[in-house]
Amino acid sequence: MVVFFIGKRFFAVAATAVVFFAAQQFAGQSTADKLRSQLVRYADLSEAEVAAMEKGEIVVKRVKTAEDQDVAIFGMVKIAERRPITMAEFRESFSQRGNKEMEGKGRFSDPPNISDLATLELEDRDFDELRRCRIGDCDINMSAKWIGRFSTEIDWNKADHRPKATELFRSMMLEYASEYSSKGAFSLSKNVNRREPLDLSEAHRELLKELPLLDDFGRGLRQYLYEFPAGTLSGVRNELHWSAVDFGLNPTVVLTHAATFTSGKAGNDSHFVLTRQFYSSRYLDASISLTALLRIPNGEAVESYIVFTDRSRSDAVGGVLGGVARTAVEAEAVDRVRRLFETSSARLAKPEAEQRPFDVVVEEEPQSWAGWLRSNCLLATWAMLVLLGLGSYLLSPKRPGRYPIGRDK
């Protein structure tokens, strides 16, 4: 072998050759290999975990995060290839009925209207906290504007203070929903109820940046969510939800955006459900999750995988409860995801003749599909809500809907 370059020029050429070779190697990978490579990097999968996944075993684990206040969960299972799976069938496989932790329900109009929140009610603990809310010292996540309004517009000594406060809280939820649906997550105001203000737009930007698979397999979903609602993506559908969650400690109201998208050829479709929690009245700062059915060509065969990944942020995880809260939250979240995977994969493995009629499922959307979307978004954060609520209780002295933001584009 003859070397024609010396010194820096040689090393520059050598480095270029290495990069080119690596790129060629990646380009030569099958789609299935690319998927495994991405997941090994993201979730730090071991050889044993990859082997287990290839055998059809459920793999669920926590993912290391750069930020102390972040919790990330990843789950995946390879399912036997039997027949094409529709979005209706996929969503039904995850539906969870009779969830006792979810209360209240409503549906946002387009545009949202205050009457859409008529069934959203507050509890005794909410009124007590709203009454004493001050900037830098409030248990409910709010901007300076809304803390001021609850202080000046409600006469807490009058007999009608509860219905008045409920009406104002609904107005606050309506404003959050309206702002998000018209301007997106990066226009959300700062929460100033804690000692350190929280920039919601920055939190959402950072969480979305870390979510895997969207660039190579989601076909523009990441950019679409960055630009929402200004961006376009053919075939995407959007829904907006509010959920009231009560674990018996401090109740929580959560606002969620779900974007659903199907790509691929008919009969060989991949399905994506991307959910973003853009407001939570307590405990959580932000959360984003991806649930997907990936159908990946591998030679002449097609491999099918169910993937779930969630990234949630709460300063309490990196704060007073520290590592104890993180460990408990992650363990409970991993267990919940595993149980959901067991149910979903078992349903999808049934012969077509044993499946429910999915045209009927669509008719039952308010109970099943919308319910699953709410559950999906909160899946990995339920445990966090429980643990942080318990921590707040120990350390302190002292419902579901949907709304189509846009049609198919």
Query: Distance between CA atoms of 131 and 209, rounded to whole angstroms?
Result: 37
- String of DSSP letters for 325-362: HHHHHHHHHHHHHHHHHHHHHHHHTS-GGGS--HHHHH
Note the pLDDT of residue 325: 61
Give residue-wise pLDDT tens across range 386-403.
Answer: 444 433 333 334 333 333
Query: So where are the chain's domains?
Result: 53-395
Residue percentage of the chain with pLDDT more than 70: 67
CA 217 to chain centre: 17
The phi, psi pair for 283, rounded to 5°, reads 70, -55
- Please name the residue ranges forming H helices in 84-243: 87-94, 124-131, 144-152, 161-183, 200-210, 221-227
Q: What angle do CA 290, 400, 182 make, to 5 degrees?
A: 70
Note the pLDDT of residue 218: 82
Cis peptide preceding 229, ω within 30 of 0: yes
Query: Distance between CA atoms of 109 and 242, rounded to whole angstroms?
Result: 12
In this predicted model, which residue has the larger pLDDT, 292 or 25?
292
What integer is the mean pLDDT of 131-153? Answer: 96
pLDDT band at 131 (very low <50, low <70, confident <90, very high): very high
Matching residue, tokens 């579901």: 400
Query: Distance between CA atoms of 298 and 247, rounded to whole angstroms?
Result: 45
Which of 75-84, 119-128, 375-384: highest mean pLDDT?
A: 119-128
Indicate the residue type of 350. Answer: K
The phi, psi pair for 251, rounded to 5°, reads -65, 155
What's the mean pLDDT when you consider all of the chain? Answer: 75
pLDDT band at 105 (very low <50, low <70, confident <90, very high): low
Statement: residue 160 has pLDDT above 60: yes
- Please name the residue ranges forming H helices in 28-156: 31-43, 47-54, 87-94, 124-131, 144-152
Statement: residue 265 has pLDDT above 90: no
pLDDT band at 137 (very low <50, low <70, confident <90, very high): very high
Note the pLDDT of residue 134: 96
Statement: residue 109 has pLDDT above 70: yes
Give residue-wise pLDDT tens across range 292-328.
Answer: 889 887 777 888 888 888 888 887 665 545 566 667 6
Statement: residue 335 has pLDDT above 80: no
